Structure 1
Amino acid sequence: MNISKSTSRTSQPVVLTSLMIGLLAISFSAIFIEWSTAPAAVIGMYRLWMSVLLLSPFALKRWREFGRLSLRDIGLVCLSGVFLGLHFLFWIQSLKMTSVASSMIIIALEPIFVLIGSVILFGSRVSKSGIISMLFAILGCAVVASADLGKGGGHLYGDFLSLVGTLAVSIYMLAGQKVRASVSSTTYNVLVFLVAGLVLFLFNVMTKTSLVSYSGHNWLMFTLLAVVSTVLGHGLFNWLLDTVSATTISMTILGEPVGAIVLAYFLLGQPVLLLQGVGSVMCLIGVFWFLRTNSSRQSDDEENPAGQETDSAYRGDGPERFDAGHA
């Protein structure tokens, strides 16, 4: 795979190192969550709001972008924020109930769900290869879930929550794609993170969950999620989009479940069952196949302008595709 759009050979080691650092940073997201004893909504709320504090200085440099937002854009930002908040609520809770392997593999289906939504909402077309790869990936997730059958209803419910969280983050991507074409990813993230954090704040208030009575260890995990997984991890990917292709970033992010599973094995002592391993490989092959198929169609569309609109419905028009959605 050609990793570079415009980098020289001398800069390729820097690019590769940055890709690996970014991958490691987002892979640690599930580990930090497992290491925290705080409720899911509290973890998500502080991760989002701390990220806002870190990103705000960069967003304020683009303050004119805020004025370009129409009422429709603001409505879409709010809708995106609601579903991002729900995503964190369901996905983080899934990690509390099932294994990292099961939760992370299921959420790897996000790009497939986004394309399905694009087909329904925007009339995007899917090739036969795309359909086969999607079905193969979904079958792989079913195999992963089957490994949890003997672990009790709690693990299966955790798998279900991960699936719901994946659907929520897919809606978040679809709802905000028009706004992401108008403003930078930093500005968009700050606005959406604010709304998503507010959703989780209201959930905590309604459920009478404590907002501040947590140990220093938990506050450290909140901070690491914001600094390492969100700002450093996805920040590196956004920065690299100036020099490497979006497909390369997609393929790198595809390694997140693998990285999280390996880290969970060594740091959390979570073994990978045979069915989980088989299903994980099937799912990742299916998603990889899907992304490669979509990338090929993208190249065809660049030669055929009539296909550009269809492809952009999935891709979100560039860097904003990698705006710290779930990890």
Structure 2
Amino acid sequence: MAAAPVSEDKLSPQDTTAVPLRACLALVGGLAALGFSAIFVRWAGAPGTVAAFYRMAIGLGMLTIPYLASRRGRPRFRAREALVALIGGSFFALDLAFWSSGVMLSGATNPTLLANTAPIWVGLGAWLVLRERLPVRFWLGVVLALAGATFVIGLDAVQSMRLGLGTLLGLLAGLFYGGYFLITQVGRRSLSALSYFWLSALSATLVLLVINLVLAHPLGGYAPHTYLSLLGLGVISQGAGWMAINYAQGHLPATTVASTLLGQPVLTGLLAGPLLGEPLRPLQALGGAVVLLGIYIVHRSRQVTP
């Protein structure tokens, strides 16, 4: 969840010279916050969909006051504008539900790694729906990423079907996040960043509430450490993390931000060893490296495409 970027034209010349450093620090801080998201989910020990609900509900609460302040004196949304944001939020809800559930089944690293395949699904969606021509490098990246993903899923499935299912859920999360990204591109043409993200957060929270009711997952009755972990997930990973990254996006090149964020699954994998007792296995690291290389190639090919 991201907030509206800070505008540089409101800064003094002295402040402007400090912006790149602040933006770099914000990007690193945001990356660290996102890297901890799977750790918080595992620490909480609640069903994945419950963790996803609290993550969005807390994030929604953090955005509500700034959102209401930004809407003063402004005309109401058109129905179509709001509908696009609500649909986008539904996709984001499914992304979080699949990813969090995958983390609870397979551990922190592999579902997080495969959830980062979203750029592949965005590119394929642009090719299928928008008829966008994609360079050969894009397809090379897709082949590498999917080959690495198949290898990682296979490693888990050999150990147990539970692990394989959790890793597969991470791949589905990436698919739905790709859909959310494409819908967001449409929604942001007519809505401000804050308005779009608040509406999509509202939608995601409601969808996750319904999912938990259907699955009969209780939203209460957990141990205190569970609520502390969920609070960390909502405040640090969802709220502060995405606000920091959004600030960095306003002041750093897109290539820098996108490439840096590929470090999220790497950081999660490194943290999972000492904090969760889930050390990286050599073959797992090899498959993950192939996936990240493929995603990086996809990123670069899309950035140079007109």
Do both share a fold (TM > 0.5)? Answer: yes
Partner of 2:49: 41
Deviation track 1:25-52 (CA, whole Å, cap 9, x = no partner) reads 1100000001012112211111101111
Q: What percentage of residue pairs aligned between the two structures are identical?
A: 28
SS where residue 125 of structure 1 aligns? coil
Q: Does structure 1 conserve the Cα–Cα contact (< 8 Å) formed by 2:99 and 2:112?
A: no
Deviation track 1:179-217 (CA, whole Å, cap 9, x = no partner) reads 122222222121111111111111222233222212221
Distance 1:8 1:113 in 2: 36
Q: Does structure 2 conserve the Cα–Cα contact (< 8 Å) formed by 1:146 and 1:275?
A: no
SS where residue 141 of structure 2 aligns? helix
Distance 2:252 2:188 in 1: 20
Distance 2:192 2:179 in 1: 20
Q: Does structure 1 conserve the Cα–Cα contact (< 8 Å) formed by 2:113 and 2:170?
A: no
Partner of 1:321: none
Compute the RMSD of aligned alpha carbons. Answer: 2.1
Aligned residues: 294
Q: Does structure 2 conserve the Cα–Cα contact (< 8 Å) formed by 1:65 and 1:187?
A: no
Cα drift, residue 234 of structure 1 = 1.1
Q: Which moved more, 1:23-32 or 1:163-172?
A: 163-172
Q: Does structure 1 conserve the Cα–Cα contact (< 8 Å) formed by 2:44 and 2:226?
A: yes
Partner of 1:60: 68
Match of 1:77 among 85, 96, 109: 85
Q: Is it true that 1:145 corresponds to 2:153 in the alignment?
A: yes
Q: Is it true that 1:155 corresponds to 2:128 in the alignment?
A: no
1:1-327 to 2 correspondence within 5 Å?
Answer: 11-63=19-71, 67=75, 69-297=77-305, 301=306
Q: Does structure 2 conserve the Cα–Cα contact (< 8 Å) formed by 1:147 and 1:273?
A: no
Q: Which moved more, 1:30-39 or 1:68-77?
A: 68-77
TM-score (norm 2): 0.90
Gaps of 5+ in 1: 302-327
Gaps of 5+ in 2: 1-7, 10-14
Distance 2:132 2:236 in 1: 35
Cα drift, residue 164 of structure 1 = 1.6
Q: Does structure 2 conserve the Cα–Cα contact (< 8 Å) formed by 1:101 and 1:276?
A: no
Distance 2:76 2:52 in 1: 29
Distance 1:177 1:242 in 2: 16
Q: Which moved more, 1:72-81 or 1:34-43?
A: 72-81
Distance 1:255 1:231 in 2: 19
Distance 2:146 2:250 in 1: 32
Partner of 2:3: none
Cα drift, residue 113 of structure 1 = 0.6
SS where residue 148 of structure 1 aligns? helix
Cα drift, residue 74 of structure 1 = 2.2
Counterparts in 2 of 1:179 and 1:151: CA distance versus 1, 3 Å: same
Q: Does structure 2 conserve the Cα–Cα contact (< 8 Å) formed by 1:147 and 1:276?
A: yes
Distance 2:98 2:260 in 1: 24
Write the letter of the residue equivalent to 2:287: G
Distance 2:300 2:172 in 1: 25
Deviation track 1:84-108 (CA, whole Å, cap 9, x = no partner) reads 1111111111001113221112111
Counterparts in 2 of 1:207 and 1:130: CA distance versus 1, 3 Å: closer
Q: Does structure 1 conserve the Cα–Cα contact (< 8 Å) formed by 2:151 and 2:287?
A: yes
Cα drift, residue 248 of structure 1 = 1.3
Cα drift, residue 8 of structure 1 = 6.8
Deviation track 1:247-304 (CA, whole Å, cap 9, x = no partner) reads 211111111010111111121111212221111111111111221222222xxx3xxx
SS where residue 293 of structure 1 aligns? helix
Distance 1:108 1:100 in 2: 13
Cα drift, residue 72 of structure 1 = 1.9
Distance 1:158 1:137 in 2: 18
Q: Does structure 2 conserve the Cα–Cα contact (< 8 Å) formed by 1:33 and 1:92?
A: yes
Distance 2:187 2:16 in 1: 33
